[in-house]
Structure 1
Amino acid sequence: MNNEKTYKGSCFCGAVQFTVSGKPEAMGYCHCESCRHWSASPVNAFILWKPEAVQVISGEENIGTYNKTPRSYRKWCKTCGGHLFTEHPDMGLTDVYAAAIPDFPYRPGIHVNYQETVLRIKDGLPKMKDLPKEMGGSGISVEE
């Protein structure tokens, strides 16, 4: 029997429905220019999952994909344009946008790519220049 908690998410219009199960690998905020541009926001709230924890349950044919670089494959709904998630093949993780899973208890633990921030956030969380070493970054912390 599987005792993992499952949460349901969707795009803005609901044409694409998905679930996430278990525990995410990490949660936080990304300040990189790419995420800011994609999300049309000064910061992006992410939840990183192992790909097998993310299951599209309806509307898969309605998912569009764009990859500016091979490091990220961004997914959205072709009907409403609502952002869904980004696959990161080099990290072996899928970033599901926190806002797309309304009932998930989002608890950020880190800020990444903070050297690129346009919105300073004083919340006491660690601020990484780029990414933690285990994610392929420098592991260098910066001041809040």
Structure 2
Amino acid sequence: MITHKGNCFCGAVELQVQGEPEGMGYCHCSSCRSWSAAPVNAFTLWKPQNVRLTKGAEYLGKFMKTPASHRQYCKRCGGHLMTDHPELGLVDVYAATIPTLKFTPGVHVNYSQTVLPMKDGLPKLKDFPAEMGGSGDVVPE
């Protein structure tokens, strides 16, 4: 099974992911943009059993703006690592956190909130896929 390792900005917290992600893409929602301090957030979604903290548990901080997103970061450097989405049964490990994973996005979510239009031919969803509780509506590039 393929394993990728990642870490926070200072290296105090390390994690690994195993296997293949359930999905990859870009989120344009205001929460992800604010949290990542970027105009768009690149995500990789994993089943919880395929994500493991390997170092620095004592430095792992958590912030919950909503019950749907349990954001995790390093308390030492502030580097963002991942977001647990318990309602979806998935963990979003930020693509930049796992540099050896070939990031192959398949979708844009919450594109109705975009501040950085991207013309890449990928599907642009108004919110989330229907199977994840969204409308599944596709909006134009």
CA offsets, 1:47-91, max 9 Å, x none? 000011000001011100000100000000011100000000100
Aligned identity (percent) is 62
SS at match of 2:31: helix
Query: 66, 77, 94: which is aligned to 1:97?
Result: 94
Corresponding residue for 1:51? Answer: 48
Corresponding residue for 1:17? Answer: 14
**Segments ≥4 residues shifted beyond 4 Å:** none
Q: CA RMSD in A?
A: 0.4
SS at match of 1:134: helix
Query: 88, 94, 97: which is aligned to 2:85?
Result: 88
Corresponding residue for 1:129? Answer: 126
SS at match of 2:58: helix
Q: TM-score, normalised by structure 1?
A: 0.97
User: Aligned equivalents of 2:127 and 2:57: distance in 1?
Assistant: 32
User: Aligned equivalents of 1:90 and 1:18: distance in 2?
Assistant: 22
CA offsets, 1:3-33, max 9 Å, x none? x100000000100011000011100000000
User: Aligned equivalents of 1:60 and 1:54: distance in 2?
Assistant: 13
The amino acid of 1:9's aligned partner reads G
Corresponding residue for 2:136? Answer: 139
User: Aligned equivalents of 1:60 and 1:137: distance in 2?
Assistant: 33
Q: TM-score, normalised by structure 2?
A: 0.99
CA offsets, 1:67-122, max 9 Å, x none? 01000000000111000000001000000000000111110000000000000000
Return 5+ residue gaps in structure 1 as ranges: none
Corresponding residue for 1:39? Answer: 36
SS at match of 2:63: strand
User: Aligned equivalents of 1:25 and 1:60: distance in 2?
Assistant: 25
Corresponding residue for 1:107? Answer: 104
User: Aligned equivalents of 1:9 and 1:135: distance in 2?
Assistant: 27
SS at match of 2:35: helix
Number of residue pairs the alignment of both structures matches: 141
Establish whether residue 79 from structure 1 lines up as the match of residue 76 from structure 2.
Answer: yes
